[in-house]
Amino acid sequence: MSKKIIFTNGLIDLAQPRLGSKVIFKTDDFFASAKRIIEPTAPVFKEGLFDKNGKWMDGWESRRKRTPGHDYLIIKLGKPGSISKVDVDTSHFNGNQPSMISIEASNSKSNNIKNFKWKTLVGKKKTKANSQHIFKTSSKSVFTHIKLNIFPDGGVARLRLYGSISKKNNNFGKKTINLASLLDGASVIACNNEHFGKAENILAPGKAKNMGDGWETRRRRDKGFDWLILNSINGKKIDKIEISTHHFKGNFPSHCSLQAAYIPSKQSSLSIVKSSNKWKTLMKKTSLMANKTHVFKNKLMKNDKINFIKINIFPDGGISRFKIFGKAL
């Protein structure tokens, strides 16, 4: 069963700009802008493209260092969180990648980087050309800022910081909120397919920019349906559900159904997936239309508590956004 399942385990890239993350300091970005290092798209190589400073590169690249020391940049996370895994990607940097990197983290309310107290997240590690470097971390601490050190100089295409948004400061009171908001800590834990667009995208804020900004599966050539499971904010009194197929015109699902459950104790993602077929029906199998926001009133689980939702799409296709409105527990 697990071979056909993509497990994200609720981890998201905390460095992504749509969370509000941004590069706030860099020692140098002469050859390639530091802000590109957190772009959500995969890095590309453009043959023969040069700008006024040299070869255009899709990432952050500093000049050749002729003085003692090393280059670094600092990222302010849009949402504080804990980091479980780091991906330092040197794609297309060949002969101009750093020889080594290290990563530090800080939890600071100050806007003055001189006041930050840094903790080592990833010690000094060797890097290779045109490669992804995955490092697991053991820290459970919540951080607000990340510092990437490169030794002594060079280029990094992308930095991904996979972790979980801290929910400690969430204070929703009695107001109705979107329990599936990525900004407030909702996350996808598993799906069966995300060939054309990541499942996480449907929880993002705002309207989708294009089809690539939604969840889209490959074309199904066998019987069955596609699905994802999300861990929502603990909620009750579910009032309204919104499912958007914005931008999906010839590739939207014909139908959709929803199941939900409240799981109070911590369980593995695999256990949650295995139990999901027995969850209560939140919305019966309902037809969808192209390029439209569908609004449904919750009639089946009005008084139930929920914190996990399974979205089933028939037989395949794409959804741009999903929202579910209720009261936080």
Tens of pLDDT, residues 143-186: 999 999 999 999 999 999 999 998 876 789 889 999 999 999 99
What's the rounded Cα separation, in Å, for the pair 182 and 72?
29
Query: Is 50 exceeded by the pLDDT of residue 1?
Result: no
Evaluate the omega torsion of the peptide bond into residue 98 and state whether it is cis, within 30 degrees of 0.
no
Q: Where are the domains of the chain?
A: 12-165, 170-328
Q: What is the mean pLDDT of residues 238-251?
A: 97
The pLDDT tens digits for 3-47 are 589 999 999 999 999 999 999 999 999 999 999 999 999 999 999
The pLDDT tens digits for 45-72 are 999 999 999 999 999 999 999 999 999 9
Overall CATH class of domain 12-165: mainly beta
pTM as predicted: 0.93
H/E stretch holding 287 = strand 280-287
Is 170-328 the same fold as 12-165?
yes
Measured in whole angstroms, the distance separating CA 189 from the mean position of its chain's CA atoms is 11
212 burial type by CB count under 10 A (0-12 exposed, 13-18 middle, 19+ buried): middle
Overall CATH class of domain 170-328: mainly beta
Report the 10 Å Cβ neighbour count for 139: 15
* 301 three-state secondary structure: coil
User: Which sign does the torsion angle of CA 177, 181, 185, 189 carry?
Assistant: positive
Check residue 122 and give its pLDDT.
98
Nearest-5° Cα angle at 158, 155 to 164: 140
Q: What is the mean pLDDT of residues 107-132?
A: 96
What's the rounded Cα separation, in Å, for the pair 254 and 316?
8
What's the rounded Cα separation, in Å, for the pair 42 and 198?
13
User: In the numeric block, which tokens belong to residue 112?
Assistant: 């003055």
Q: Which residue type occupies 160?
A: R
Pairing of strands 187-191, 226-244: antiparallel
The pLDDT tens digits for 269-294 are 999 999 999 999 999 999 999 999 99
CA neighbor of 207 nearest in space, from 268, 172, 248: 248
Query: Is 50 exceeded by the pLDDT of residue 140?
Result: yes
